[in-house]
Amino acid sequence: MAIFSYKGLDKTGKEIKSTINADTLVFAKQKLKTMGVMLISINEQKTSKHKEGAVTLGGGINIEDLSLMTRQLATLIKAKIQIVEALTALIDQTENIQLKLVLTEVKQAVNEGSSLAKSLEQHPKFFNHVYINMVEAGEASGTLEIVLIRLADFTESQMKLKNKIKGAMIYPVIMSIVGSGMMMIIFIFVIPKITKIFITMKKTLPIQTEICIWISAFLKSYWWAVILGVFGAWYIFKIYVQTKNGKSKWHRAMLRMPIIGNIITMINVSRFCSTLSTLLTAGVNILVAMDIVKNLVANVHMQRAIENSKINIKEGASLTAPLVESGLFPPMVTHMIKLGEKSGELESMLSIISENYEDQVESRLQGLTATLEPFMMVAMGGVVAFIIWSVVVPMMELNTLR
């Protein structure tokens, strides 16, 4: 079954635009004719497929939509409904057009004999490696409904963590933009008017006033160069950190930053533990799971440590030793993983670590916001104090002369 978008006129002559499900274009036209729609145009909708290896969602399907769809599919399969029928039900009830298109193509592939995992694999733009490997493991073990529920929980937890990080950064970013804008306005429009008064004084001005006037004159004449310089520096920086050497140095520097370095470590550790726990619990082979987790961890040095752990596992050794040697994973984490390996409860131990670190990340993010707020206020206050000091001292001298 395919999805067709159409434009037409209803019985009252009113123009309508919508979509309709049908096996072929002919059937779609017949359906619309039965509904009393006079067609103007009709086109089959297709999804845009990205190259293999894409791991992010996009194209109009957000994480909330994916999580809800996954949970609904798990419920339908648990009720012993066939996958094709379950997908049909999801297609009918979802309101997201892009998700409807994707599910339609997945259903077609399943109808043609593909497994659900292989059908999802055709849409790497929407379903990442974690999702596909877990579905594949669920199909192989006959526990697809359980795996899908875990997958929905995992997706929601990742979404919550992402939202917490975004929420913590909103205030500092807004403050920086507003503060910089206000300073630019003062230097470009306010200071030049006061400068005219100082010129009439015909006397040597204090050094701070000279600096203030120079900054004002520079911004007034070259404000465009400042803006271009900022964007240019940002662009060059982005290009640099995309190189192997640049990325390595920048990621190392981030880990060494006070406060922020600890938060980055915690986020990556939480992602590593939660993803690995979810994959292993779903029955994914540990070597495959380590490969997936490595690609989901954002820091290249932590990725290298995970790759070394995978090599250790291949050789029959423990996965813990390379993590300890890297010095990037906190001792408590490596100790608990080692205990989990010895006791045969690695999945549950990883889950405990993940939950613990998610709580710590939330606490640290709140602390970071609380720390940045007074720091930014002091910084802005310092600039304002400098401007007042630069302006008030000459003004007082002017009044004394009078």
Query: Quick one: average pLDDT of 218-229?
Result: 88
Q: What is the pLDDT of residue 50?
A: 42
Q: What is the pLDDT of residue 381?
A: 84
Domain-located, residue 134: yes
Q: Which of 158, 193, 222 is the last residue of a domain?
A: 158
Confidence grade of residue 3 (pLDDT, cut at 50, 70, 90): low
Q: Which of 152-166, 280-294, 357-371 ranks highest by mean pLDDT?
A: 280-294
Chain segment 119-145, per-residue pLDDT in tens: 998 888 888 887 888 888 888 777 788
Q: What is the pLDDT of residue 57?
A: 36
Can you tell me the distance from the alpha carbon of 397 to that of 402, in angstroms, rounded to the nearest whole number? 9
Domain-located, residue 18: yes
* C-beta neighbour count of 168 within 10 angstroms: 19
pLDDT at 281 over 80: yes
pLDDT at 228 over 90: yes
145 and 225 together in one domain: no
Query: Quick one: average pLDDT of 249-272?
Result: 89
Domain-located, residue 69: yes
224 and 152 together in one domain: no
Enclosing domain of residue 339: 168-402
Domain-located, residue 188: yes
Domain-located, residue 229: yes
pLDDT at 235 over 90: yes
Domain-located, residue 55: no
119 and 234 together in one domain: no
205 and 91 together in one domain: no
Q: What is the pLDDT of residue 1?
A: 57
Chain segment 150-203, per-residue pLDDT in tens: 888 878 877 887 787 777 778 778 888 888 888 888 888 888 887 777 777 666
Q: What is the pLDDT of residue 309?
A: 92
Q: Which of 4-18, 43-57, 215-229, 385-399 ranks highest by mean pLDDT?
A: 215-229
The label of the residue with tokens 């997201």 reads: 96
pLDDT at 401 over 70: no
Q: What is the pLDDT of residue 18?
A: 73
Greater confidence (151 vs 85) lies with: 85
Contacts 24+ apart (CB under 8 A), 74-81: 74/144, 74/145, 74/146, 74/148, 74/149, 74/152, 75/145, 77/144, 77/145, 77/148, 78/145
Q: Which of 139, 158, 177 is the last residue of a domain?
A: 158
241 and 327 together in one domain: yes
pLDDT at 400 over 80: no
- Six token digits for residue 108: 């077609």
Q: Which of 158, 178, 207 is the last residue of a domain?
A: 158
Query: Quick one: average pLDDT of 227-237?
Result: 93
- Six token digits for residue 313: 């596992």
Amino acid identity for residue 113 in this structure: G
Burial of 337: CB neighbours in 10 Å, binned 0-12, 13-18, 19+: buried
35 and 67 together in one domain: no
Q: Which of 56-60, 86-90, 92-96 ranks highest by mean pLDDT?
A: 86-90
pLDDT at 56 over 50: no
190 and 135 together in one domain: no
Can you tell me the distance from the alpha carbon of 136 to that of 285, in angstroms, rounded to the nearest whole number? 11
Ramachandran assignment for 21, one of left (phi > 0), alpha (psi -120 to 50 degrees), beta (any other): beta
Ramachandran assignment for 202, one of left (phi > 0), alpha (psi -120 to 50 degrees), beta (any other): left
pLDDT at 51 over 70: no
The label of the residue with tokens 């933009």 reads: 177
Total domains in the fold of the chain:
3
Mean pLDDT, the chain, integer: 82
E-assigned strand segments in 33-172 = 38-44
184 and 153 together in one domain: no
